Amino acid sequence: MTMRSARTVALTCALAGILGFGAAQAQEFPTKPITLIIPAGAGGSHDMTARAVTSVASEYLGQPIIIQLKPGGGGAIGSDQVARAPADGYTLLFGGPNWSTTLPAVEGRSKGPDDLDPICRINYSPVMVATKPDAPYKTFKEMIAWAKENPGKLVFGNAGPWSQADLTWKQISQITGIESRNVPHDGGGPSTLALLGGHVDVAINPTTTFMSYIQSGKLRPLAVLDDERDPNLPDVPTAKEEGVDVVYYLWRGMLAPKGTPRPIIEKLADACKKMTEDKTVQAMIKSFGDRIQYLGPDEFGKVWRTEFNLHKELGSSLKK
């Protein structure tokens, strides 16, 4: 089959899907490789997760998923490209909260749930607050108390404007009323380095980033910003338990252009679920320090929409 006729078939599929005749054609989907666009650079946690999960795509989908990196604009360039692509299921976006929730909700750039359809969530990394072991506070509560006694003295290291670290720290500050110095860094690696070197007092990063330093005693965990404790760190409380209700999911998932026919979404979501249940994939994800936390299109769509609304609200109340 030539590329041209394959495209014609695909387009027909998409049209038929819109008209409600999708079920039969969706059974044939996909007839050619699917392109998954990651709107970030090589080597990030999204890139790693996407490569691990799609490594077994042809087994469960009948076609390979080809990863294309389209970095730029904090994820806006790749997201815009997918939002403009034909809604036929052959061009997908690897979504994440930075470019699929916060950026569109706060800055009006990139694309959010208004312009993209959810397929599934693959997993999320919990984020946590950590400090140096010699800090005068030993727990999350003590840190808050210390910051209140010494207003404007605590130095916090974020991972870039409106990153998970910046957003959650602003939330924590808003809820508790603490004042601090919020120092920007060019990502989680540099902010971890600054914490290890004593240039900042506290930092927030994914648990996976901090884990080896916690194990070697170079960092002290204060709180996990998740609904429940991390099974690898059962002694570390959640911020919620410490009285500050801040939760952040650093999720990874598949998104499709708005208007992709439901049968195609379901087929992709189903294949994704099977890929995430594959033993080799699970082993790889585990080696990153993450777990699979699959959510189907409807549940994930709800979580994503709630998150979008929350960030929108936060954005307007925190932006000065």
Partner 1 sequence: MLENLASGFAVALSPWNLAYAGFGAVLGTAIGVLPGLGPPATIAMLLPLTYGMEPVSAVIMLAGIFYGAMYGGSTTSILLNIPGEAGSVVTCLDGYRMTRSGRAGAALGIAAIGSFIAGTLGVIGLSLISPILAEFALRFGPAEYFSLVLLGLTMAVYLSGGSALKGLMMGVLGLLLGTVGLDPVLGAERFTFGLPNLTDGLDFVVVAMGLFGIAEVLSNLEAPEQPAALKTGIKNILPTREDWKRSWAPIARGSLFGFFIGVLPGGGAIISSFVSYAVEKKISKHPEQFGHGAIEGVAAPESANNAASVSSFIPLLTLGIPGNASIAMILVALMIHGIRPGPQLIQEHPDIFWGAIASMYLGNFMLLALNLPLVGLWVKLLRVPYSILSLVVVVICIVGAYSVNNSTFDVGVMIVFGVFGYLLRKGGFPAAPLILAMILGPILERSLQQAMISSAGDPLIFIEKPLSAGLLAVAALVALTPLLGLVRGGTTKPA
Spatial distance between the Cα atoms of 200 and 204, rounded to a whole number of angstroms? 11
CB-count exposure of residue 145 (10 Å: 0-12, 13-18, 19+) = middle
**Amino acid in the structure at residue 228:** E
Could you say which of 9, 16, 18, 77 contacts partner 1 (CB under 8 A)? 77
Residue 209, strand partner residues: none
Spatial distance between the Cα atoms of 80 and 260, rounded to a whole number of angstroms? 16
For the bound state, the minimum distance from the C-beta of residue 124 to partner 1, rounded and expressed in Å, comes to 17
Could you say which of 64, 71, 296, 301 contacts partner 1 (CB under 8 A)? 71
3 state SS of 178? coil
Question: Is residue 42 at the binding interface for partner 1, with CB under 8 A as the rule?
Answer: yes
Question: Is residue 278 at the binding interface for partner 1, with CB under 8 A as the rule?
Answer: no
The phi, psi pair for 254, rounded to 5°, reads -105, 135
Could you say which of 14, 34, 50, 80 contacts partner 1 (CB under 8 A)? 80
Question: Is residue 76 at the binding interface for partner 1, with CB under 8 A as the rule?
Answer: yes
Question: Are the beta carbons of 38 and 47 closer than 8 angstroms?
Answer: yes
Q: Which is nearer to partner 1, 32 or 218 (CB)?
A: 218
For the bound state, the minimum distance from the C-beta of residue 199 to partner 1, rounded and expressed in Å, comes to 4
Spatial distance between the Cα atoms of 21 and 27, rounded to a whole number of angstroms? 11
Stretch of 114-122, 214-222, 241-249, 266-274 contacting partner 1, by CB under 8 A: 214-222
3 state SS of 111? coil
Report the interface residues with partner 1, using CB under 8 A.
41-44, 47-48, 51-52, 55, 68-74, 76-77, 80, 107, 109, 152, 155, 160-162, 181-186, 189-190, 192-194, 196-200, 211-213, 215-216, 218, 284, 286-289
